[in-house]
């Protein structure tokens, strides 16, 4: 037997380190070639590291949440044949490493398809045991595995309904719902357990980004009430008469078109602020980020060149990217590069919020829920569909007057939606 060292490959982006988010093996496990050893995260892409050969795991690089240097030892294994502790630079890139880098560049987050070899072993066996798989590892995306681990669910209990038996979020939800339905009421029992949950993966990336934004940016938040009765009437008529091939239109495409019109008059709000260099990068293209909640955390898919899209094109792209973000198929390019962001909690939007700017942008528009409220029309109170916009601005580069002008322009366009379509 000889030692084989699996090093953390270069997964793209020119990064120097990646975060360890999941181990799929433990010391003593017997694994087959191409079996997944573990997963690392860089930016918003989760990448699985395959085994280059059959062998037995003898050493693991660290614990979930650790940052590992590119090129450092990831896993050590006992394999048949001569030792392979040779520098990575001296070896040609393996097909698995090349495929891994390509996968990272496209932001893939779904697991590898099963190899033609038998499924890899996942259980410890005595050192004298023959090399063979002990238990087949269920197929599931990293996001599903994370939810299952947090809920204390063994994925082997679930029959996957996805392609090749892959376990989906719906499969996990069905099991959790059955569990809750069969749980006896214990409302009068005192609970004393404390659960420690380490902040890792996407949740840690979100925490780091929010901390930077909150620490560096002096926010000014401007809240304005908008009468969207006419817009909601127009939207209902558009959806009632929807032509084949046209998507259902929500409020967001109207807001996106209104923002494009407002930015044309106040272009310095469509910008990034490099606070270290003291430079504002004002963008001609309007790339609108849509803050989207997913099973693993908040991500911001980007509708590029909103200035060149009509209402239905905006609606189609919002729906496509939101679904891609939620199922983990969005690429890195689709999750980066926004110049201004919209955040909305839909029906849970509350009366007002204080959105945190998506650093290094200088503005974010927050959408609150629509509610019927009494509105004074000059002679009487009448019921109207009202919605608040809660928008935050980087006060270092955006004055309060410009922030107010921007929101008031959006308000005018939303309250008179025909103006959105008039050049």
For residues 112 and 35, the answer to whether their CB atoms sit within 8 Å is: no
Catalytic-labelled residue, pool 233, 274, 310, 399: 399
d(C-alpha 292, C-alpha 315), whole Å: 15
Question: Per the structure block, which two tokens stand in for 352?
Answer: 């007002």
Listed in sequence order, the DSSP H helices in 24-119 are: 95-105
Closest of 308, 310, 390 to residue 344, by C-alpha: 390
Place of tokens 């299952």: 148
- The DSSP call for residue 362 is S
Place of tokens 């003593």: 28
Q: What is the Cα Rg of the chain in Å?
A: 26
Question: Per the structure block, which two tokens stand in for 323?
Answer: 């679904």
Active site residue 395: yes
Render the burial of 264-277: b for 16+ CB within 10 Å, e for the rest: eeeeebbbbbeeee
Active site residue 272: no
d(C-alpha 70, C-alpha 125), whole Å: 30
Burial class (CB in 10 A: 0-12, 13-18, 19+), 412: middle
**In the chain, what's the furthest Cα-to-Cα distance?**
91
Catalytic-labelled residue, pool 73, 219, 395, 402: 395
For residues 20 and 68, the answer to whether their CB atoms sit within 8 Å is: yes
Place of tokens 């700017």: 357
d(C-alpha 370, C-alpha 383), whole Å: 12
**Residues taking part in catalysis:** 395, 399
């Amino acid at each position: 037997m000889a030692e084989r060292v699996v090093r953390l490959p270069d997964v793209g982006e020119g990064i120097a380190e990646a975060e360890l988010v999941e181990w799929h093996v433990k010391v003593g496990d017997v694994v087959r070639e191409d079996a997944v050893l573990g997963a690392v995260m860089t930016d918003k892409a989760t990448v699985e590291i395959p085994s280059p050969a059959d062998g037995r795991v003898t050493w693991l690089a660290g614990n979930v949440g650790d940052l590992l240097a590119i090129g450092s030892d990831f896993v050590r294994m006992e394999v048949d044949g001569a030792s392979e502790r040779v520098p990575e630079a001296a070896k040609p890139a393996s097909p698995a490493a090349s495929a891994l880098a390509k996968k990272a560049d496209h932001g893939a987050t779904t697991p590898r398809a099963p190899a033609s070899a038998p499924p890899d072993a996942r259980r410890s066996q005595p050192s004298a045991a023959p090399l063979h798989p002990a238990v087949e590892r269920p197929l599931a995306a990293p996001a599903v595995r994370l939810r299952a681990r947090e809920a204390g669910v063994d994925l082997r209990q679930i029959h996957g309904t996805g392609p090749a038996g892959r376990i989906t979020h719906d499969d996990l939800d069905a099991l959790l719902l059955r569990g809750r339905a069969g749980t006896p009421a214990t409302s009068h029992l005192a609970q004393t357990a404390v659960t420690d949950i380490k902040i890792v993966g996407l949740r840690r990336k979100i925490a780091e980004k929010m901390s930077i934004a909150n620490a560096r940016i002096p926010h000014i938040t401007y809240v304005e009430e908008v009468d969207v009765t006419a817009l909601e009437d127009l939207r209902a008529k558009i959806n009632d008469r929807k032509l084949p091939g046209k998507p259902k239109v929500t409020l967001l495409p109207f807001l996106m078109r209104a923002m494009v019109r407002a930015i044309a008059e106040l272009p310095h709000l469509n910008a990034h602020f490099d606070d270290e260099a003291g430079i504002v990068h004002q963008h001609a293209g309007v790339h609108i980020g849509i803050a989207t909640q997913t099973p693993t955390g908040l991500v911001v898919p980007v509708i590029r060149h909103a200035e060149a899209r009509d209402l239905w094109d905006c609606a189609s792209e919002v729906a496509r990217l939101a679904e891609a973000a939620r199922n983990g198929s969005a690429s890195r390019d689709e999750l980066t590069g926004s110049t201004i962001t919209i955040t909305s909690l839909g029906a849970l939007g509350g009366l007002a919020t204080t959105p945190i700017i998506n650093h290094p942008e200088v503005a974010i528009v927050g959408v609150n829920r629509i509610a019927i409220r009494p509105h004074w029309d000059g002679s009487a109170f009448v019921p109207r569909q009202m919605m608040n916009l809660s928008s935050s601005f980087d006060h270092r580069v955006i004055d309060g007057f410009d922030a107010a002008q921007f929101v008031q322009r959006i308000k005018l366009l939303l309250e008179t939606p025909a103006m959105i379509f008039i050049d």
